[in-house]
Structures are given as structure tokens and as C-alpha cells.
Structure 1
């Protein structure tokens, strides 16, 4: 039988505030700086990865549960699949123009 407690979800509030800061930070960098476009894209991509990690840890409870190792392995596999799909798509789309 699960025990439910009526405590304030402070981790959700912290995660929400951090997500807002990262989102507005990315918007500010994109709109208010005169950095080169490729630098802006790298910064926004880094902030997006950081925000995804915050979402996984604070909202999706990756640190909780009995199968922490299974959760970690699943996340590593999902990250590998994302890398293969994105890198493969970029490779196919850019190499097609050279022929």
C-alpha cells in the first residue's frame, strides 16, 4: 500500500523556475546579442540539453524508483538513438548536395 504525503512539491517549483531562466536566457542570447549565428546555436543547444536534464531529474523523477540502473541504461540508449538519428540525418542531408 502506497503512502501519500501532502508535502509541497519544491522540486517541481525549482525545476519550473530553472526552466524559465534557461528559456528566457536562450531567448535573450538569440535576440539581444551580436554573437555569430553558429555561436548562438551552440549556446542554445547547450541550454536545451541542460534544460532536458533538469526536466528528467526534477519532473520525471529519474532519481526515484527501485530500478535506478534500468532508468539510467534506458536514458543512455535513448541518447544514443537521438545522436544516431540526428547525426545520420545531418550527414545524409549535407552529403547529398556534393554529388
Structure 2
């Protein structure tokens, strides 16, 4: 095995371990009932954002140094669109829930 293959394998393994840990933490908190209410939602959201970053860095190899600016622009645009869709959906559902009470 050459040096780049070893580095690539170690990078993928580190990303895999981080992804598993970031999945296990919220799962254990919910399953064990250690957190309740809005705190558990906050932990799940933070773990999800960190996991997205782990996937982008370790598996897709997107960083600010070697990635072309156009790719980062399109990635940011996609993130904004996803934020608008998810945020808008949550806003509508919360408003409907408030009106149903």
C-alpha cells in the first residue's frame, strides 16, 4: 500500500468512526431518556449538523483550500435551499399546531 492509499483509508475510517459516534450520541440520549423536551431536539440538531460537516470533509473531501469556489458556491446555495424548505415546513407545521389548540 502506498502512502496516499494509507492516508485515504485512515481518513475514511476516521470519518466513519465520527459518523457512528455522532449517530450513537443522540440515539443513546433518546433511548435512555437522559434528555427530554427541547434539549433533546437541540442535541439531535447539533449532531446532525456536525455529521453533515464530517461527511463533507472526510468522504467528499470538500475543504476551503482545494475546492473550487464555484463548487462551494453551489454547495452553499443548496444548503440555503434546504434550510428554507425545512425551516418553512417546520414553521407551517408549528403554526398549524398552534391554531389547532
Per the alignment, in what secondary structure is the counterpart of residue 7 of structure 1? helix
Q: Deviations over 1:30-69 (max 9, x none)?
A: 1224322221011011101100110011101213896521
In structure 2, the residue matched to 1:82 is: 82
In structure 2, the residue matched to 1:28 is: 28
1:44 aligns to 2:44 (yes or no): yes
Please report the RMSD computed on the Cα atoms of aligned residues, expressed in angstroms.
2.4
CA pair 6-61 structure 1, distance change in 2 beyond 3 A: closer
Q: TM-score by structure 2 length?
A: 0.78
Q: Which moved more, 1:8-17 or 1:24-33?
A: 24-33
Structure 1 runs of 4+ aligned residues shifted over 3 Å read 64-67
Per the alignment, in what secondary structure is the counterpart of residue 62 of structure 1? coil
1:15 aligns to 2:15 (yes or no): yes
User: Does structure 2 conserve the Cα–Cα contact (< 8 Å) formed by 1:62 and 1:68?
Assistant: no
Stretches of structure 2 lacking an aligned partner (at least 5 in a row): none
Q: TM-score by structure 1 length?
A: 0.79
Stretches of structure 1 lacking an aligned partner (at least 5 in a row): none
